Amino acid sequence: MKVAVLAGDGIGPEIIAEAIKALRALDLGIEFEEALVGGAATDAHGDPLPPATLALCKAADAVLFGAVGGPKYDTLPRPQRPEQGLLRLRKELGLFANLRPALIYPELAAASTLKPEVVAGLDLLIVRELTGDIYFGQPRGIRTLDNGEREGFDTMRYSESEIRRIGHVAFKAARKRVKRVCSVDKANVLETTQLWREVMTELGRDYPDVELTHMYVDNAAMQLLRNPKQFDVLVTGNMFGDILSDEASMLTGSIGMLPSASLDANAKGLYEPIHGSAPDIAGKGIANPLATILSAAMMLRYTFNGEEAAARLERAVAKVLAQGLRTGDIAAAGEPTIGTRAMGDAVVNAL
């Protein structure tokens, strides 16, 4: 079991250190090897994904990723920007399936901006296609028209096979849960997603034990706020998934609690918290490491088939929350808080 560790920028190194500490405490014999990515790699090598980092990730079984980016890099030419390192890595590793659970811990139900009765008990999984859609479709660009006006354009594309493989991931995930898949599209307006709906419907016949429903993305955005507990697995394309998964993350109250997995066809994966590098709190030792620790648990479950160890780690996180330990982002007004390292230590103690 070899894990490439890419801490990245901002709070990345602080939160990754705690996840490694928790994984070591499980004593599973995992080997860790670190490499630079994002702004840190641009600073050192002028490239946010240097060849040595990519080679390490290709050779490893899984990648544990912190976060990349920062204001310092926002004015660089696009290829040198930290986010390009992550986008290229996803593409190079063929990580087409992004899994984002949104789970409410009972103790944190009050942290949501929604009423506790709307979110209490929430447990949904967003399955987002990650390597296609308008984010990668060609042609794209900004051109000057004959009349001298500039025009920006991008292309939304999905092939049948791309839709089919993300569909399989969603249906299989649903089989391990409540067996309901809601496929989100905009089939009334966009041909690409009309095909999406047709292919999902065909695929659904291979999973008669799973209930398949369809929803337009605008309605899904509304339903996530109105009654999020109606959902089990939501499957959607890259752009809709980008937006809906951020919306779903806020149902739980803190971006610092939410893990993610990005998988290839053979369960190799990149595991990362959904939040960014949080430059506003970087270096202060106050970032919440739990999203990264829960990402490590997903790594044990999906890449290393270690359901038991994954569940142990998740129970340890639930335990520290039940003990009342809070980093600033999940503390109620006036509640005492602890720092990144103390939270990591508490998880290790709970293990």
Q: Give the residues lining the site for ligand NAD (CB under 6 A).
A: 11, 15, 67-70, 83, 86, 255-256, 272, 275-281, 287-288, 291, 329
Q: Is 171 helix (H, G, I), strand (E, B) or coil?
A: helix
Q: Which one is catalytic: 135, 179, 216, 229? A: 135
Task: Identify the bridge partners of residue 129 per DSSP, sorted by sequence position.
Answer: 97
C-beta closer to ligand NAD: residue 71 or 121 = 71
Q: Shortest gap between Cβ of 147 and ligand NAD (angstroms)?
A: 35
280 is catalytic: no
C-beta closer to ligand NAD: residue 86 or 109 = 86
Cα 133 to its chain centre, rounded Å, is 17
284 is catalytic: no
DSSP letters, 107-153, are GGGGGSSS-HHHHTT-EEEEEEE-S-GGGT-SS-EEEE-TTS-EEEE
Pull the structure tokens for residue 210: 């799973």
268 is catalytic: no
C-beta closer to ligand NAD: residue 77 or 208 = 77
Q: Shortest gap between Cβ of 249 and ligand NAD (angstroms)?
A: 10
Q: Shortest gap between Cβ of 277 and ligand NAD (angstroms)?
A: 4
Q: Shortest gap between Cβ of 11 and ligand NAD (angstroms)?
A: 6
Q: Which one is catalytic: 186, 207, 271, 329? A: 186
C-beta separation of 269 from 63 below 8 A: yes
- Rounded to whole angstroms, the Cα distance separating 92 from 183 reads 27
Q: Which one is catalytic: 61, 123, 242, 264? A: 242
Q: Each residue of 129-160: b (16+ CB within 10 Å) or e?
A: bbbbbbbbeeeeeeeeeeeeeeeeeeebebee
246 is catalytic: yes
C-beta separation of 250 from 100 below 8 A: no
74 is catalytic: no
Cα 319 to its chain centre, rounded Å, is 23
C-beta closer to ligand NAD: residue 94 or 279 = 279
**Catalytic residue list:** 135, 186, 218, 242, 246
